[in-house]
């Protein structure tokens, strides 16, 4: 298993006692430190400099935390990403220490520690708990702006107004409008504040004909059926008064087919707007004559071969990215981020994201930009110059839910072991620079996935295990609306069934689940180790896993939080060794002990704190 457990007899991480800064400028010197319990004769640091590995001596210092032996070294941050590892010389052995643990053979660079140059993380996100809202299904604050049945045609079919409690079905899919709006979100802010979340991600709110609004007609106008610009301004004022951050959904891979730029390009082959889209020279029968998202006719793909595409959407003086940041939003979630590019492909994808992020930071130096990359996004996150993070399906959400539920997104059985889960979580975490890893947007479910409660078969304990893991894993936690009250879906599948309307009759809520979720959110927000700490693995058992979050301050003070989660419907045992400290169960409020080996039995999950 290629992962570091807490038993490894040396340590280095990104926290202040071990790394002097995470905000280095290119050319700046950084000090890094290693702690070891081994009887070493010498410690060296290996730094990758312009393609060559330089071995440099270290100097021994007084133990920062009063334990073991500590060594430190300085080096210059001379590239976008500088990689380094440690070498320990013993009397009869030589060991390499990297994020793959202690090994005799030098590991590949992917396992080395790293620092970024000229990157400043939007660190406010580490202290936030997000809540995802699909506006049409969350709350109807003003029935006067509802879509009416037959009001207009979409794809040749009339749209329909649906009663709030009607389960979503295939026929209604994108045509059924439930009436949720921005006024409803504003009215619900006291509920959300009581829940404990303090940041919102809203799926698209711009003028569009469908209920999901990923087919945008006008990017600079809030949809009148959501309350229009006045409702947006009211929501932003109310959110800021309650210290809520707001991130909007940016659809920059495609427009809707009713967008004015596309309509001109489609109907006039000489129109200057023509180069904003990609046109097929010989479309196959039944295909659109233009590149589109999965060849869906209503979603023509933007072509970033065109400078005008950048000017309109990304980084022009009045580009959409800049427009909404100027109006007060705190960042962007980027729809299908991995598909954005030139010529109907993903060509130039990373350059689009670099320019987008640069424009966003010019408007708001702390803007948070994260992308929907459903697969391994390591290549896009290497230097921090593009997205700050991604929706962490690959490195958290998908494997955790497969381990808990025993099935994948399509309902096929999956027999994932606890060891495989920890191995995958570690692999994804350790490959990223620390601030980027802490920026990852973690989630269990969303508007594109089957609801978590559905996948675990209605088992509250399994869902609580997932929510506890969500609050305890490195990255930014996000709850999909209604998960906290046990909201389920009417039948198997993802869209549209996961987009059920939020019930506002509290008699339909799972009040015990809601209270447990409140506790978890409060704990996350009150515990710096869960927000900024490193990750160390503690133990795994057939039906349980445990990991440690650790934050070592510059003066040697250590804050620790231990996650223990079980997927079993009956109490499952796990044996683990806790570091020395006064450990308490932060959720149950009970004393655990002073550290050492423990065998615990539990269902669901819990978090232990060392005080």
Q: How does pLDDT run across 64-76, given as a tens digit for each residue?
A: 999 999 999 999 9
For the chain, give every domain's residue range.
10-116, 254-301, 533-610
CATH number for domain 10-116, candidates 3.40.50.300, 3.40.50.980, 3.40.718.10, 2.60.40.10: 2.60.40.10
Instruction: Give DSSP secondary structure letters for 6-17.
Output: TT-SEE--SSTT
CA 132/CA 487 separation, integer angstroms: 14
Alpha helix locations (H) across 268-397? 307-309, 320-326, 349-363
Say whether pLDDT at 6 is over 80.
no
Helix (H), strand (E), coil (C) string for 152-207: CEECCEECEECCCCCCCCCCCCCCEECCCCHHHHHHHHHHHHHHCCCEEEECCCEE
Q: 218 falls in which pLDDT band (50, 70, 90)?
A: very high
Residue 491 has pLDDT above 80, yes or no: yes
As a residue count, the chain comes to: 611
Give the number of C-alpha atoms closer than 13 A to the C-alpha of residue 581, restricted to the C-beta side: 17
Burial class (CB in 10 A: 0-12, 13-18, 19+), 279: middle
Structure-token match 């400028």, residue found: 25
533-610: what CATH class? mainly beta
Q: Quick one: CA torsion of 131, 132, 135, 138, rounded to 10 degrees? A: -60
Please give the average per-residue pLDDT across 479-500, as a whole number: 96
Q: DSSP letters of 495-552? A: TTTT-PPPP--GGGS-HHHHHHHHHHHHHHHH-HHHHH-EEEEEEEETTEEEEEEEEE
pLDDT at 4: 63
Spatial separation of the C-alpha atoms in residues 103 and 55, rounded to whole Å: 17
Residue 382 pLDDT: 94
Looking at residue 264, the DSSP 8-state letter turns out to be H
Structure confidence at residue 2 (pLDDT): 54
Distances (CA, A) of 413 to 11, 148, 319, 404, 416: 38, 42, 46, 12, 9
Annotated active-site residue in 372, 382, 387, 543 = 372
The H-assigned helical ranges of 48-95 are: none
Residue 416 confidence (pLDDT) above 90: yes
Burial class (CB in 10 A: 0-12, 13-18, 19+), 241: exposed
Q: Report d(CA 533, CA 529) in Å as an integer.
A: 4
What is the per-residue pLDDT for 138? Answer: 98
User: SS3 string of 390-459?
Assistant: EECHHHHHHHHHHHHHCECCCCCECCCCHHHHHHHHHHHHHCCCHHHHHHCEEECCCCCCCCHHHHCCCC
CB contact at 8 A, 139 and 184: yes
What confidence category does residue 7 fall into, taking pLDDT thresholds of 50, 70 and 90? confident
Report which DSSP code applies to 223. Answer: -
163 given a catalytic annotation: no
In Å, what is the CA distance from 233 to each residue of 182, 238, 246, 334? 10, 9, 12, 22
CATH fold of 254-301: Oligo-1,6-glucosidase; domain 2 (3.90.400)
- What token pair was written down for 150? 């037959």
Of 136, 312, 330, 335, which one is the catalytic site residue? 335
Q: Write out pLDDT tens, residues 530-580.
A: 999 999 999 999 999 999 999 999 999 999 999 999 999 999 999 999 999
User: How far apart are alpha carbons 438 and 474 in whole angstroms?
Assistant: 5
Report the greatest alpha carbon distance in the chain.
83
Answer positive or negative: Cα dihedral of 28, 440, 376, 303: negative
Summarised one tens digit per residue, pLDDT across range 246-285 is 999 999 999 999 999 999 999 999 999 999 999 998 888 8
Catalytic annotation present for 335: yes
For residue 184, the model assigns a pLDDT of 98
Q: Which residues in 113-152 are b (16+ Cβ under 10 Å) and which e?
A: bbbbbebebbbebbebbbbbbbbbbbbbbbeebbbeeeee
Q: Which residues contact residue 228 at a Cβ distance below 8 angstroms, ignoring those fewer than 6 apart?
A: 145, 221, 222
pTM: 0.97
* Contacts of 314 by beta carbon, 8 Å cutoff, 6+ apart: 252, 304, 320, 321, 352, 355, 356, 359
Distance between CA atoms of residues 587 and 235, nearest Å: 33
> How would you classify the pairing of strands 199-202 and 130-133?
parallel
Read off the pLDDT of each residue in 233-243 and give the average, rounded to a whole number: 98
- The residues, any chain, with a CB within 8 Å of residue 144's CB and separated by 6 or more, are none
Fold: same for 10-116 and 533-610: yes
Residue 527, CA distances (Å) to 175, 373, 541, 548, 567 in order: 44, 29, 26, 13, 24
């Amino acid at each position: 298993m290629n992962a570091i457990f807490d038993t490894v007899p040396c340590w280095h991480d990104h926290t202040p006692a071990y790394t002097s800064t995470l905000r280095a400028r290119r050319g700046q010197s950084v000090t890094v430190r290693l702690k070891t319990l081994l009887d070493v004769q010498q410690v060296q640091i290996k730094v990758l400099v312009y393609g060559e590995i330089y071995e440099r001596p270290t100097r021994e210092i007084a133990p920062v935390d009063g334990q073991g032996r500590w060594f430190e070294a300085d080096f210059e941050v001379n590239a976008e990403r500088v990689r380094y590892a440690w070498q320990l010389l013993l009397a009869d052995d030589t060991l390499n220490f990297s994020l793959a643990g202690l090994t005799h053979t030098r590991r590949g660079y992917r396992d080395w520690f790293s620092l970024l140059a000229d990157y400043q993380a939007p660190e406010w996100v580490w202290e936030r708990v997000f809540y995802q809202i699909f506006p049409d299904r969350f709350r109807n604050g003003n029935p006067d702006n509802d879509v009416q049945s037959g009001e207009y045609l979409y794809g040749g079919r009339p749209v329909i107004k649906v009663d709030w409690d009607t389960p979503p079905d295939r026929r209604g899919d994108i045509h059924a409008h439930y009436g949720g709006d921005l006024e409803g979100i504003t009215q619900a802010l006291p509920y959300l504040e009581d829940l404990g979340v303090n940041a919102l991600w809203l799926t698209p709110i711009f003028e569009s004909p469908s209920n999901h609004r990923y087919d945008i007609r006008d990017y600079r106008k809030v949809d009148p059926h959501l309350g229009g610009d006045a409702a947006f301004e009211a929501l932003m004022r109310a959110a800021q008064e309650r210290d809520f951050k707001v991130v909007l959904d940016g659809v920059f891979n495609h427009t809707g087919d009713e967008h004015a730029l596309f309509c001109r390009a489609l109907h006039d082959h000489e129109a200057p707007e023509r180069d904003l889209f990609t046109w097929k020279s010989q479309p196959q029968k039944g295909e659109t004559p233009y590149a589109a998202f999965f060849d869906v006719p209503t979603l023509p793909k933007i072509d970033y071969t065109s400078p005008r595409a950048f000017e309109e959407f990304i980084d022009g003086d009045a580009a959409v990215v800049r427009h909404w940041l100027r109006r007060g939003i705190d960042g962007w979630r980027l729809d299908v981020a991995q598909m954005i590019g030139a010529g109907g492909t993903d060509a130039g994808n990373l350059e689009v994201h670099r320019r987008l992020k640069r424009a966003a930071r010019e408007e708001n130096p702390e803007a948070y930009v994260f992308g929907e990359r459903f697969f391994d996004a390591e290549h896009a996150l290497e230097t921090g110059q593009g997205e700050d993070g991604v929706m962490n399906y690959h490195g958290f959400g998908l494997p955790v839910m497969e381990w808990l539920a025993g099935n994948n997104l399509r309902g096929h059985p999956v027999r994932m072991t606890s060891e495989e889960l920890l191995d995958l979580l570690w692999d994804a975490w350790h490959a990223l620079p620390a601030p980027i890893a802490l920026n990852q947007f973690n989630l269990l479910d969303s508007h594109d996935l089957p609801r978590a409660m559905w996948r675990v078969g209605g088992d509250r304990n399994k869902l609580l295990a997932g929510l506890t893991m969500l609050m305890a894993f490195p990255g930014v936690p996000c709850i999909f609306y209604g998960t906290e009250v046990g909201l389920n879906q009417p039948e198997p599948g993802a869209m549209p069934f996961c987009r059920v309307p939020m019930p506002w009759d509290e008699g339909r809520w799972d009040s015990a689940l809601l209270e447990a979720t409140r506790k978890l959110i409060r704990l996350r927000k009150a515990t710096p180790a869960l927000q900024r700490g490193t990750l160390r693995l503690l133990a795994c058992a057939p039906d349980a896993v445990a990991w440690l979050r650790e934050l070592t301050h510059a003066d040697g003070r250590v804050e620790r939080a231990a996650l223990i989660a079980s997927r079993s419907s009956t109490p499952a045992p796990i044996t683990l060794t806790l570091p020395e400290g006064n450990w308490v169960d932060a959720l149950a409020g009970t004393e655990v002990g002073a550290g050492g080996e423990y065998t615990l039995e539990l269902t669901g999950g819990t978090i232990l704190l060392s005080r």
